[in-house]
């Protein structure tokens, strides 16, 4: 009996994980009606994206329910490509003194191969954005909402989102890549810099290859 229950549970989890391959279109907060939710998004994005370019090659934001919100943007400057990361000093949603919440900013240059691979992964994801069916829609009161944005060759920026994907799913793997300290550039990797970049680059390319089959 236990084996049957475990088998059914595994099948359900595997099915959910396998289905989480596409981002949903993000709601246009600027066009939504005034509300506490709109105020939160307007203010938290202003803090997180304050130093980012308006036309991101790749941009990621993580909005957890209870811990600090954070984001990164892939930017290009005179020295090449860099990751600009922001992390808030406290969870903005539940901060008792929101005006005291600040954004901590860090910057780190990355290789061109890493930047191009990251940009292509984000562009692929943005091209595959689609509305979920009623059966596929997943949203809870807690958890984490993730936002992904990219600008195409015509200068059009699109934004997709997902909520707390299963770690083994394609979107869960994407979140794992974006959360990697080396990717967001907000921690020292010590002597593991080259090996860490090689590992991360491999994960990005593998996920890009896996998702390319959806087009």
More confident residue, 61 or 182: 61
Using DSSP's 3-state secondary structure scheme, residue 150 falls into strand
pLDDT recorded at residue 4: 35
Note whether residue 1 is domain-resident: no
In a domain, 54, yes or no: yes
**Can you tell me the distance from the alpha carbon of 201 to that of 95, in angstroms, rounded to the nearest whole number?**
36
Per-residue burial over 53-76, b if 16 or more Cβ lie within 10 Å, else e, is eeebbbbbbbbbeeebbbbbbbbe
Answer yes or no: is 5 within a domain: no
| Average pLDDT of span 204-214 | 92
Structure token digits, residue 171: 């979107």
Residue 53 lies in a domain: yes
pLDDT band at 142 (very low <50, low <70, confident <90, very high): confident
Contact 135, 150 (CB under 8 A): no
Structural domain includes residue 14? no
| Within-domain flag for 26 | yes
Residue 129 reports pLDDT greater than 80: yes
Dump pLDDT digits (tens) for 88-118. Answer: 999 999 999 999 999 999 998 999 999 999 9
Whether residue 6 is contained in a domain is answered as no
**Share of residues in the chain with pLDDT > 70 (%):** 78
Distances 52 to 11, 58, 72, 100, 187 between C-alpha atoms, Å: 42, 11, 8, 21, 19
Tally of structural domains, the chain: 1
pLDDT in tens, 14-37: 333 344 788 999 987 666 767 889
Domain holding 155, by residue range, is 20-212
Residue 157 pLDDT more than 70?
A: yes
Say which residue, 9 or 160, is predicted with more confidence: 160
pLDDT of residue 35: 86
The reply to whether 10 falls in a domain is no
């Amino acid at each position: 009996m236990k084996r049957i229950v475990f088998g059914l549970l595994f099948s359900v989890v595997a099915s959910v994980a396998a289905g989480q391959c596409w981002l949903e279109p993000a709601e246009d907060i600027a066009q939504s009606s005034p509300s506490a939710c709109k105020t939160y998004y307007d203010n938290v994005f202003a803090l997180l994206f304050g130093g980012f370019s308006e036309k991101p090659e790749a941009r990621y934001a993580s909005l957890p329910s209870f811990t600090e919100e954070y984001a990164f943007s892939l930017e290009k400057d005179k020295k090449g490509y860099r990751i600009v990361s922001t992390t808030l000093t406290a969870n903005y949603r539940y901060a008792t003194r929101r005006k005291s919440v600040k954004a901590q900013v860090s910057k780190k240059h990355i290789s061109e191969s890493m930047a191009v691979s990251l940009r292509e992964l984000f562009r692929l994801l943005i091209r595959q954005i689609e509305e979920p069916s009623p059966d596929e829609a997943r949203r809870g009161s807690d958890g984490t909402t993730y936002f992904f944005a990219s600008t195409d060759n015509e200068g059009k920026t699109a934004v997709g989102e997902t909520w707390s994907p299963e770690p083994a799913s394609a979107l869960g793997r994407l979140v794992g890549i974006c959360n990697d300290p080396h990717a967001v550039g907000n921690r020292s990797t010590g002597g593991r810099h080259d090996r860490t970049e090689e590992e991360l680059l491999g994960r990005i390319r593998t996920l890009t290859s896996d998702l390319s089959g959806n087009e």
